[in-house]
Structure 1
């Protein structure tokens, strides 16, 4: 097969989730609905927090950051897929594909870091309640979000810049609904050993460190809660962590499912479907998890909806 340098490649072909014409309408309707629900849900969460002064606390500041990131992450992948289905054109330009890789890696890295920051926030609130507002001061909260963004950018640069040095065969077909780094690497005709090692090491560092921080935070939280004498106090402490634990379980559980799927199956279709579980579903479910399990958020949403209806 003819080999071309990536810089000479004009476009990639995204096969999507199905090549069946009968399934395209169903997939389009499903993903359009998921996209609209995700954007609207996360936008409402952000507006509710911003409009209610009682929610101007570190916990909801991080939640607003997470909601913005979830909306951005979904926007990185689904709109292009919807356009391709609508126009019956499966191509994506070279620049568009590289941009999609960068933005997706940036968003996933930010998701990892923000979940770890939110776990630390819950640790400070439960294990050091009297010093909570001193520890989680506005400067530290902003610094934690900025550091999360910085680490995510570094992770993105480490993983995406290496793609520029790969050589590809002329048939640039990606069996996925978006440009994923691992799928692009598999298309390379040049040696990818160093690239695969770099992806593995960076994934362990930038994914493992936040997850370790979450686990360590909850070890201290559980230890502190179990020492409480009041059952009511234990329930209240655990209830403040319930939403975050649900989000963490959904995100990392689905990501682990994608890893297991890609390891034990050669089916690109199954891998693509599994990828939906961590790149689309958690971002859509997060607003519901936080709004349905949080009394303050329910009250803020009720006030926001009341204000919106009064303006109509």
Structure 2
């Protein structure tokens, strides 16, 4: 039973984190639009996400008449499971990690590349042109922004001279954070992780005005809810990796604040920024999105990697 305690703690923390993020996004969106957000389900509407999930559980599961039911059913499961696996390599505190891997961050990048496969399967299995186009967009977007993301992580690894990034920077203080040592990589990582989460202005795979709901168009009930959960799980895990890679991990300079509390503060700030971007920035066109990834972020991340390599060679 004691072996299961860390897993149960992690599952409980992830569940609470997702519920809080959904509530925060709705409240911030309501404030930006000068309207009243959720207020009836629980105090201040905190349980609104739980109420929505319960409602989806009791809705009918529909299947497209001429679609591939196997791909249609497997797609949402792949999206959720692959995102949940990413939490196994996140160090929440000193020695509080399910799988202490020296190359855990690269495992996260490899796992995150599985998600678009599930989305593409969902789009193809739906036998719907809007769904299929949404799946193709998800695959193209993921490929375009995973490469700059990986190059940013490689730059951090070269700077630390080891792949266990948190251990390498745990001996430094506030000024040793990779945020100050890799500012260009930090900006590229933020943009690329936002695109990986498919949040505005990068929500082209599920653009409502263009594709109805993208790869989710034919889904209902619990399968639609799984996509909803996977989206917020991905948002939470990307926020955690920003903290681990660029904000010192559990090495916090503020006394009497634990790593878990710092993670929550960071997540609230990131959700606030993402929500503001959602309601203030226009959605990019598909050609603009691909040009940003291939013509701007990729060359800049390559230049940052070469600059980091040169500085490390000169310091030898």
Q: Which TM-score applies when normalising by structure 1?
A: 0.40
The structure with more strand, counted as a fraction of residues: 1
The structure with more helix, counted as a fraction of residues: 1
Query: Which of these two proteins has the greater Rg computed from alpha carbons?
Result: 1
> Higher relative contact order at CA 8 Å, sep ≥6: structure 1 or structure 2?
1
